[in-house]
Chains A and B, each alone.
Chain A
Amino acid sequence: MPYAVLPGLWWHGSVYGGEPRSNSASAQSLNQTSRQRICCVFKAPKAGTISRVIFGVSLATAVVDVRLSFQDLTSGNPDGTEDQFRDHLAADFTINTVFRSGILSHDGTDGGTQRVVTHGQSLAVVLRWTGSPGATAQLQWTGPEGTPTPAQNQCYQGNYNGTSWSKQVLTPRIALEYADGTVEAISGWFFPEAQVVTPNVSSATTPDEVGVRFQLGFTGKLSQAMLWPGSVGGLFDVVLYDEADVVLATFSGANSGTAMIEVHDADSPIAAHFDDVVLDKDAVYRLVLKATSTGVETFGYYTVDAVALSAFPGLSRYYWTERTDGGAWTDRTTRMPMFLLGFSELLVNEVSG
């Protein structure tokens, strides 16, 4: 069985578009005046019956009751007919958590008829107040704020000011739960998460090793790993373990005073080089940032919901892991590490046909 060489590396992980999202103030929230409704227009990521909508809540101030609906499009905007809907109470929305709607159906109940879509079919999920919002009311799904702002073809936020819709060059990070239980991100670029968290790690903290526990869907040679954000204050190793905690590779880095080593700034990743380590399909590995001094480093994660983890690359097999003083690992499926793995070669059946 041959290895296919991948010039310039192929990347896999949770960060696409050059950099991860950062937490920042929202300018695109549902509010009382200029955005009385917001929507996300998308193309159905697969054919089937869509049951629920999942998104992170990045802003929830003086929220009142809300309706979510699926609507067809007119000139790329919602047509105003709530084909399937679900009402939610204000209390259902909590900032920095992942919201999972009830079943959207023609009568707003669990037993109503749900939305059936073909792959690639365009439609909108619309968010509007059903209560009476006060002047300070704001509700926002995660995504269309901060950086980066790459967009997916015909997948975007729209804002309704009471008179007309305006399209935005922004893509909310929304996922859809189908009736078969699968969860799909509406954008191939962004995934449903609620918050960026960047814990400090040093040799004196608990934990002192943090990273990603992963299983690949293929066999490949690991040449590089990038961990965001790469703020480093001391000595550290990036360590690759197998399931039995055998160290497969170690990359050492440091920050010495004002001279940053291996990391440019807080938005750039720690980049660990490896000598084409073979990682086997389905085997369990851990790639972690291990602080080896009292200097503080950071490695971040997105807050996610375990239900929606399958919408991320890795299909529920990438998530956070941590331990202290070389003890037992604690794995957390509600955290998605911000990382990419760079592969130089993949094991395939046939390189050339």
Chain B
Amino acid sequence: MGLMLGHPKIVDAGFQALNSGTVRFAWSFRAPKTGNLARAGFRFTAAVTPQTMKASWQDPQATTLRPDETVDQFRTFTPAVGWITTGLITSDGTDSGALRAVTKGARVCLVIEWDSTTGSVQLQPYGTTNEHWKPNTWNFTRSSGGAWNAAAGLATTNFAVQYDDGTWAYVDGALPCSADGTHSFNSGSTPDEIGLRFLAPFTGAVLKGVHARMDAAATFDVKLYDENTTLLASTTFTSGERALGSTAQVYFELPEVELTGGHVYRVTFVPSSGSNIGLPYADVSANAILGAWPGGIECYQTHRANAGAWTDTTTRRPNMNLIWSDDIPPPTSEVTFSPDDLTPVGLVWVEAFLPT
């Protein structure tokens, strides 16, 4: 096993009802970087009575992590089914108010509540399956007149925060998605090849394999291509050589190939029969929000049919992880020597020190 990118599993379809019974929801999280928090994003799965709601930044209580009930910055919004990106969350709730400045690692609470009139919605703040990979983001609910309670704290969270530089940053354990589903496809489908398009992070990076949570119910190939669609490596998963559950976590080892930093690569699943395999995916409402996912904005779905041209979907992430070799090419040592050590040989040594 080498270095692992990100998270093994996307969010499931859990939800939290916000109505007259439970009136507030909060995420308590650590700021992923230093800067000014600008907006928040989250997903609703139902908006039965969409009264005006309020999103606010609050300090956590010192010993409980729960919101301290002091609204430091806020913004109102109208809930609707799907992804909501708030306006600027500021000291006075307007675009001209002051943003919240944070330092990397500082704990902040994002609180969702009714502004003045209680309605009825379903927030999808977390998954339904324990995942044990969200150690620093907590979910809390509060009933009317009650205390804050930890809510499904073990589950993966589904929200995102945007900084005033426009970036959406990776929050520990959060996988923001506006929708999710599963591709069921086979050799006769359109598309018949689906996978992950990504950039190699540096020259010499070696992709060891792919980890996917999928329905591996038929025979298929796992293929790695470069940006010219030259096949670099592949392995075959043979149906019947083992039994797998409907959504098993599977690790596919690939022959090791050194990649070139900054270049596009694709790793895909290619069914070889008319039997379906299933590959779950998550959507985001804009490519920039993939900045909050492991792998970042250059890591998204790619697919094609009949070995034709690729179609990239910049707002979709298939449920795939990349496993990289930990054998990182050692940096070239800097050469230091005194002028006395130099032996002039024409212009070679001079050229070596020209600015580039």
Contact = CB atoms under 8 A, between A and B. Distances in A.
B4 A11 contact: yes
B170 interface: yes
A18 B8 contact: yes
A346 B202 CA distance: 9
Interface stretch (A2-10, A25-33, A57-65, A132-140): A2-10
Contacts of A348: 202-204, 261, 328-329, 331
B8 A273 contact: no
Contacts of A152: 250-251, 253
Interface string B59-71: 0000111100000
B261 to A, nearest CB: 5
A18 B3 contact: no
B178 to A, nearest CB: 18
Interface in A1-52: 1, 4-12, 16-19, 41, 43
Interface stretch (A107-115, A263-271, A298-306): A263-271
Contacts of B63: 254, 256-257, 259, 261
B30 to A, nearest CB: 6
Contacts of A6: 5, 201
B243 A150 contact: no
A285 to B, nearest CB: 16
Contact of B328 (A154, A217, A256): A217
Contact of A264 (B66, B135, B237, B240): B135
B133 interface: yes
A148 B63 CA distance: 32
Contacts of A75: 240-241
Interface residues of B, number: 74
B5 A10 contact: yes
A151 B249 contact: yes
Nearest to A150: B249
A296 interface: no
A343 interface: yes
Contacts of B332: 1, 349
A264 B324 contact: no
Nearest to B135: A271
Given A8-B5, A8-B295, A150-B211, A168 B243 contact: yes
Interface in B242-289: 242-245, 248-253, 255, 260-263
A188 interface: yes
Given A151-B251, A346-B202, A10 B241 contact: no
A10 B20 CA distance: 42
Interface in B10-67: 30, 63-66
Name the prevailing secondary structure of the A interface residues: loop
A151 B331 CA distance: 35
A351 B7 CA distance: 23
Contacts of B251: 150-153, 187-189
A244 to B, nearest CB: 23
B322 to A, nearest CB: 9
Name the prevailing secondary structure of the B interface residues: loop
Interface centre among B66, B260, B327, B330 (most CB of A within 10 A): B330
B92 interface: no
Contacts of A19: 131-133
B328 A7 contact: no
B237 A153 contact: yes
B203 A313 contact: no
Contacts of B6: 8-9
A350 B202 contact: yes
Interface string B177-221: 000000000000000000000000111110011010000000000
B323 A8 contact: no
B195 to A, nearest CB: 15
A262 interface: yes
A262 B136 contact: yes
Interface centre among B132, B153, B241, B248 (most CB of A within 10 A): B132
A268 B154 contact: yes
B100 interface: no
A19 B131 CA distance: 7
Contacts of A148: 249
Contact of B170 (A7, A313, A352): A7
A10 B324 contact: yes
B1 to A, nearest CB: 5
A76 interface: yes
A69 B137 CA distance: 48
A10 B131 CA distance: 18
A154 B170 contact: no
A313 B326 contact: yes
Interface centre among B3, B153, B241 (most CB of A within 10 A): B3
A41 B238 CA distance: 13
B102 to A, nearest CB: 13
A263 B135 contact: yes
B242 A156 contact: yes
Contacts of B153: 264-265
B105 interface: yes
Complex A-B, nearest 6 residue pairs according to Cβ-Cβ distance, in ascending order? A8-B294, A7-B296, A352-B262, A150-B249, A271-B135, A353-B260
Interface of A: 1, 4-12, 16-19, 41, 43, 75-76, 120, 148-154, 156, 166-169, 185, 187-189, 191, 217-219, 224, 226, 230, 254, 256-257, 259, 261-265, 267-271, 273, 275, 281, 313, 343, 346-353
17 contacts: A1-B332, A7-B299, A8-B294, A10-B4, A17-B8, A19-B131, A150-B211, A153-B253, A188-B1, A259-B64, A264-B153, A264-B154, A265-B154, A271-B172, A348-B328, A351-B261, A352-B203
